[in-house]
Amino acid sequence: MTTVLSGDLTEGRVRAALDAVVDPELDEPITDLGFVRSVAVCDTGVVEVHLRLPTSFCAPNFAWLMVSDAREAVAAVPGVARVVVELDDHSDSELINRGLAADAGYVGTFGHEADESLDELRATFQRKAHTAAMERALTALLRADPHRSEADLGEVTLADLPPGPTTEALLQRRATLGLPDDGGAPVLVDAEGRRPERAAVPMAVRRARSVRISVDGNAHFCRGLLTTRYPGAEDDQVPRADDRPVLPLLLDQKVSS
């Protein structure tokens, strides 16, 4: 699709706005995942965005979150007069696109098939995103200091974390949940900010690791599905950060003879 520039309103600015839209399950920007199929900017200030997903049967509620968030993000770009966001090649594309264009909302679009609200679904994945980011930061500390044990991680504070993308990602997800960001705040906490007792720290870390492995595994799988469905889509994907540790899920096992 040809892009026509309109003053300061450019495709680059629109895509930058779309960087803030994340797949709720994968906790990655749709731009990094390659979900943005095309962006067109008209000289009248009309912007048209087409999204694509790894399969035609991706959960409709996830799809709705992404297309509605995308429209909201683009609408906030200075110079945009009107936004059209459409989802391509999905089993519910026609329904979603029609509902979005009519400002019907999720419930108004899906009727009795919809939950009353997507707020709790979004909150659930925000909690998972925080858990995964927390585990990445703590695992990075373990790798950097072989003398540190999992039991010690309950004493780690935000001030102990080195600057960088991993720490920044954790701080962003803590902010989303309303968790404190001062240097003395403990890193290993649940979504309500409660820290585990020392004896429970290793299990808390391993549970967090299971969440992170699930998130990372799903992201890897979906990236592969997208490139299989749309050959060449890998060119639109941003490689995942090298600092994301991929460690096996270790569980204490007792073997009886």
- Please compute the mean of the pLDDT values over residues 92-120 and round it to a whole number: 90
Q: Structural domains in the chain?
A: 11-113 (3.30.300.130), 119-236 (no CATH)
Output the pLDDT for position 36: 98
% pLDDT > 90, the chain: 83
Question: How far apart (Å, rounded) are the C-alpha atoms in residues 125 and 120?
Answer: 9
Output the pLDDT for position 7: 59
Element (DSSP H or E) covering residue 40: strand 36-41
Output the pLDDT for position 115: 67
Q: Please tell me the pTM assigned to this model.
A: 0.86
Output the pLDDT for position 112: 79
The more confident residue out of 82 and 248 is 82
Listed residue (47, 43, 45) closest to 17, CA to CA: 47
pLDDT in tens, 5-62: 445 899 999 999 999 999 999 999 999 999 999 999 999 999 999 999 999 999 999 9
Output the pLDDT for position 116: 62
pLDDT in tens, 230-241: 999 999 999 876
Question: How far apart (Å, rounded) are the C-alpha atoms in residues 3 and 48?
Answer: 10
Do 58 and 22 form a contact (C-beta atoms < 8 A)? no
Q: Does residue 4 register a pLDDT over 50? A: no
Considering 16-30, 139-153, 237-251, the range whose residues carry the highest mean pLDDT is 16-30
Output the pLDDT for position 114: 77
Output the pLDDT for position 131: 98
Judge residue 84's burial from the number of C-beta atoms within 10 Å of its C-beta, 0-12 exposed, 13-18 middle, 19 or more buried: middle
- Please compute the mean of the pLDDT values over residues 153-168 and round it to a whole number: 96
Output the pLDDT for position 242: 53
pLDDT in tens, 191-227: 999 999 999 999 999 999 999 999 999 999 999 999 9
Do 142 and 134 form a contact (C-beta atoms < 8 A)? no
- Give the residues across from 48 on adjacent strands: 40, 84
